[in-house]
Amino acid sequence: MGRALSYVILLLLACRPVLNQFQEISFGKLGSYELSLLSLWSLIVLGLLVVRSFWGVVLDYRVKVSGVIFILYLTMISLPRLSEYGNFVSSYLYIIMIVMMMMIAHKLFDDLGEDTIISILSLSSIALITMHITAFWWDANYIGMSGLGNYLGAFSSKHIAAYSFIVLIPFVYLKYVKSDSYFWLLILILNVAFLISAFQRTEILSFIIGVSVILIILKKKRNVFYLIPFVMVILLLIPESYFETFVQEKILAEVDKLGSGDIERAGAGRVGLILEGLRIYFYELSLVEKLIGAGSGYANLTHLRVVGHLTYAHLQFIQFIIDLGIFGLILCTIFVLQVFVVKLRMYRFNSSRLNMIAITYLIVFACEFIYTMPFQNGGTFLITALLAFSPAKKIIGLNKNANRENFMNVLNNNRGV
């Protein structure tokens, strides 16, 4: 039963990047909530994650306890207190889903094996690339009127396109390393090319941080500088008109803002969101609200004041500290740190490429917490949340009947390795 559930979860995860191209499909409303194809996907996956969590080896009780406490805090303290400034319940369901995925990721690896997981998600990448290229004939979207320079395929936005490609890159890389095939090298290059062609700063920055961390872990620090010519070659493949638009809007415009003293609008308004978020927290919230948060959606007020329309704060730590309070932020930090500590011990015990990629993911995840919204980028990021833990049984040589004590003994014995 557990293995069958794991397989269904994996197949649904593999479908998500492709389904992102059909974001506009809706099945009507369930009450006041729009039941889209992606929201239905999320509800099904959330239910399966909850069911799968009930049995199997517990990787680390500290991770489990801290994760459960954070989820309970989120559902019992924050979500019931809906703010008048917009209730993005789906965003908080995504947080719960990512936490759940981090807690049960090792079960999927133990049930299916890393080769199966890597292969299926790599095949998803082929399907995504094929549909993205061929969408020119069946459902092409553009931004503006500059033709292929702004080609979106079937995606509704460049942001969705960018994170649909970036989540599959680690698995395609692992597939290439395992197969040593030029075909998978081509697929990897195409993934990176489509990621960069979306010109989304947050996803490109995350990619650069990730590659840099990998090179540092491999003790090839000098190779970090090779990223510069690599990115430049990719940029040369982008149509000139689109490249000029990117330079003007994403780089020169930011320089002008800083030069004119308009600091708050820098970073696509993120500096202003930080300042406004901190002002709300320190000067508008009561002591109780500072501790347990103002309730779900209150942080959206920062975006309304700074940018002019109501949506989430675009900065995870600002969203958390206002909506969940300092207690919620601390609980989330404790959970992520527990995951990182256990993963680091596993990497010291077995420095495989999979464990290396997992460590890299957690570092990038921590960085994204500062400048974007890693928890609330939709169900797509569940794919990379799989990397929170690699297979427990393979790393420590456990068989199917192994218990939690054996596993923890190995981890504790390797604390100082």
Query: Distance of CA 311 to CAs 26, 211, 262, 298, 308, Å?
Result: 21, 31, 22, 10, 9
Q: Which has more pLDDT, 22 or 227? A: 22
Most confident of the ranges 101-110, 298-307, 398-407: 101-110
User: Looking at residue 40, what is its pLDDT?
Assistant: 85
What's the helix, strand, coil split of the chain in %, to 5?
75, 5, 20
CA 155 and chain centroid, separation: 18
Query: Distance of CA 28 to CAs 24, 25, 87, Å?
Result: 11, 9, 19
Show the tokens assigned to 257. 């803002």
Residue 291 has pLDDT above 50, yes or no: yes
pLDDT tens per residue across span 195-241? 877 777 778 778 888 887 877 777 665 655 655 666 666 556 555 55
User: Looking at residue 401, what is its pLDDT?
Assistant: 42
Q: Which has more pLDDT, 46 or 410? A: 46
Percent of the chain with pLDDT over 90: 10
Quick check: pTM over 0.85? no
Helix (H, G, I), strand (E, B) or coil at 93: helix
Average pLDDT along the chain: 75
**pLDDT-derived band of residue 415, with 50, 70 and 90 as boundaries?**
very low
pLDDT tens per residue across span 237-278? 555 555 555 555 555 555 555 555 555 555 556 677 778 888
Write the Ramachandran bin of 25: left for phi over 0, alpha for psi from -120 to 50, otherwise beta.
beta
b/e 325-337 (16+ beta carbons within 10 angstroms → b):
beebbebbbbbbe
Residue 381 has pLDDT above 60, yes or no: yes
User: Across residues 300-306, what is the average pLDDT?
Assistant: 71
- Whether the Cβ atoms of residue 42 and residue 93 lie closer than 8 Å to each other: yes
> What are the extents of the domains in the chain?
2-413
Residues 6+ apart with CB under 8 A from 296: 78, 79, 81, 82, 83, 87, 88, 89, 92, 323
pLDDT tens per residue across span 50-109? 888 887 766 677 888 888 999 999 888 877 666 655 555 566 788 888 888 888 888 888
Burial of 148 per CB tally in 10 Å (0-12, 13-18, 19+):
exposed
**pLDDT-derived band of residue 400, with 50, 70 and 90 as boundaries?**
very low
User: Looking at residue 15, what is its pLDDT?
Assistant: 92
Query: Distance of CA 254 to CAs 240, 262, 270, 410, Å?
Result: 20, 9, 12, 50
Residues 6+ apart with CB under 8 A from 218: 356
User: Across residues 359-385, what is the average pLDDT?
Assistant: 75
H or E element at residue 74: none
pLDDT tens per residue across span 171-202? 999 899 888 888 999 999 899 888 877 777 77
**pLDDT-derived band of residue 306, with 50, 70 and 90 as boundaries?**
low
- Whether the Cβ atoms of residue 101 and residue 388 lie closer than 8 Å to each other: yes
171-175, 314-318, 410-414: least confidently modelled range: 410-414
Cβ neighbours of 32 (radius 10 Å): 5
User: Looking at residue 416, what is its pLDDT?
Assistant: 41
pLDDT tens per residue across span 338-348? 888 888 877 77
User: Looking at residue 310, what is its pLDDT?
Assistant: 58
Show the tokens assigned to 371. 């400048």
CA-based nearest residue to 67, from 92, 31, 96, 93: 96
User: Across residues 129-139, what is the average pLDDT?
Assistant: 79
pLDDT tens per residue across span 135-181? 767 566 655 444 445 667 778 778 888 888 988 998 999 899 888 88
The CA-based dihedral angle spanning residues 238, 243, 246, 247, taken in that order and rounded to the nearest 10 degrees: 130
254 vs 245: CA distance, rounded Å: 13
Q: Where are the beta strands (DSSP E) in 110-164?
A: 141-142, 151-153
192 vs 176: CA distance, rounded Å: 14
**Amino acid letter, 332:** C
- Whether the Cβ atoms of residue 14 and residue 123 lie closer than 8 Å to each other: yes
153-157, 370-374, 380-384: least confidently modelled range: 370-374
- Whether the Cβ atoms of residue 67 and residue 103 lie closer than 8 Å to each other: yes
**pLDDT-derived band of residue 12, with 50, 70 and 90 as boundaries?**
very high
Residue 332 has pLDDT above 80, yes or no: yes
User: Looking at residue 394, what is its pLDDT?
Assistant: 45
Say how many Å lie between the first and final Cα of the chain, rounded.
Answer: 37
Q: Characterize the bridge pairing of strands 151-153 and 26-30.
A: unpaired
Place of tokens 């459902």: 139
Residues 6+ apart with CB under 8 A from 333: none
H or E element at residue 158: helix 158-166
User: Looking at residue 97, what is its pLDDT?
Assistant: 87
317 vs 293: CA distance, rounded Å: 12
User: Looking at residue 403, what is its pLDDT?
Assistant: 46
* C-alpha angle 28-295-54 in degrees, rounded to nearest 5: 70
User: Looking at residue 215, what is its pLDDT?
Assistant: 76
